[in-house]
Amino acid sequence: MNNFSAELVFPDFDSVLRLTGGWGRYQVRLLLLLLPFTFFLSYVAYSPVLFLYVPDDHGCRPHPHLAKLLLPTANLSSSGAHLLLELTSPPDPESPTGRSRCTQYDVDFTQVMLLLYR
């Protein structure tokens, strides 16, 4: 009769690493060779996220000179900004703000101001 036990002994991870050679010159060279490609490919992977994300409340902002021309006494509080938005962008029911986010009226506001302040 055999007195040998049939138990399997699995080596731990650290002992396997010591058998394979650990961290040597080859791994350092490989790291230095592939590190520039890693930075480039991470930029390529995340560039769509960075360039194509548009927030929900994004919209065209009226020119600051236009704000001073139309509302000389206002400091562009929420009501003043809302008035400027209504004067410069057309309505759009599909937009979350209710106004078009990408188009503006093509109006010469100096002519409008001349007509208003005659």
d(CA 73, CA 83): 14
Q: Which long-range contacts (CB under 8 A, 24 or more apart) does 99-104 make?
A: 99/59, 100/59, 101/58, 101/59, 101/60, 102/60, 103/60, 104/60, 104/62
d(CA 109, CA 88): 10
- The whole-number average pLDDT for the span 11-32 is 84
**Number of Cα atoms under 13 Å in the Cβ half of residue 98:** 4
Q: Which residue has the higher pLDDT, 11 or 58?
A: 11
Q: Which of 108, 102, 80, 76 is nearest to 89 (CA)?
A: 102
- The pTM assigned to this predicted structure is 0.36
What confidence tens digit (pLDDT) does each residue in 22-39 have? 788 988 999 999 999 999
Q: What pLDDT was estimated at residue 71?
A: 59
Q: Give the chain's mean pLDDT.
A: 76
d(CA 10, CA 27): 26
What confidence tens digit (pLDDT) does each residue in 82-116 have? 677 777 778 888 877 777 777 777 777 777 677 76
Q: What pLDDT was estimated at residue 40?
A: 92
